[in-house]
Amino acid sequence: MTVDKTAAESVVGVVLAGGLARRMGGGDKGLLELDGRPMLDHVIERLCPQVRMMALNANGDRERFSRWGLPVTPDVLPGNPGPLVGVLTGLDWAFANLPGIDWVVTAPTDAPFLPHDLVSRMVEAVAAEEADMACAVSGDRRHPVVGLWPVELRNDLRRAVIKEEVRKVDVWTGRYTVANVAFDTEPVDPFFNANDADDLAAAQALVSGT
């Protein structure tokens, strides 16, 4: 799949905020405070300058996100089915609302240190490797939900999650050519995510140095 030089202008960012946050005791991880602001503030601040526009994938009462003034789109399948359905939701939303948008970049709501060059490097990698999509890597870890996804594959993904009941991101992406884009982990792993209270405390310790 090829990408031209203006492809970054055809990327929409979708923050995946549809999880249940069980390890945090439930609720919205993105609304937890980090350095005196909701963690979602940090994610949006990092990602918004890199894309044409942004949306949130979240379930339940969308009014709790009203302060950000972003479109909120719930999962296209019920029952909090996981991030792969969040990706599908983002692709469907972009296709329905933003003609001309070719790509969706997704990131979780609990990753406050996202790289400032995330989108540009993913777009470049897809073009250079003639890949179908891209996935972020740091250290020796892949981060499947931090990805660049082509809108044109939304129907393929829909068949996978509905007819085949695929739920793991890697199972679906394994069918395609994926550009694995490696990012430096110093001074902070840009894909550090706050899964539990200890992680949130660690993020608080790190945030002053980023």
Q: How many other β-carbons are positioned within 10 Å of the β-carbon of residue 71? A: 17
Which of 17-21, 170-174, 206-210 tops mean pLDDT? 170-174
Residue 19: inside a domain, yes or no?
A: yes
pLDDT value at 81 more than 60: yes
pLDDT value at 69 more than 60: yes
Give the burial string for 132-154 (b: 16+ CB within 10 Å, else e).
Answer: bbbbbbbeeebbbbbbbbbbebb
Q: Where does the pLDDT of residue 21 fall: very low under 50, low under 70, confident under 90, or very high at 90 and above?
A: very low
For tokens 């250290």, the residue is 139
pLDDT value at 6 more than 60: no
Tell me the pairing of strands 141-150 and 103-108.
antiparallel
- Encoded amino acid at 143, one letter: H
Residue 1: inside a domain, yes or no?
A: no
Average pLDDT, the chain: 90
User: What is the total count of domains within the chain?
Assistant: 1
Q: Per-residue pLDDT averaged across 169-183, rounded?
A: 98
Structure tokens belonging to residue 162: 């509905």
Q: How confident is the model at residue 196, as a pLDDT? A: 80
Rg (CA), the chain: 16
Q: How confident is the model at residue 24, as a pLDDT? A: 42
Query: pLDDT tens digits, residue range 89-109?
Result: 999 999 999 988 999 999 999
What one-character-per-residue DSSP string does 14-33 give?
EEE-----GGGTSS-GGGSE
pLDDT value at 207 more than 90: no
Question: Cα dist. 105→54, 129, 147, 207, 209 in Å?
Answer: 9, 18, 6, 23, 26
179: left (phi > 0), else alpha (psi -120 to 50), else beta? beta
Residue 2: inside a domain, yes or no?
A: no
Q: Which domain holds residue 202?
A: 7-207
CATH code assigned at 140 = 3.90.550.10
pLDDT value at 205 more than 90: no
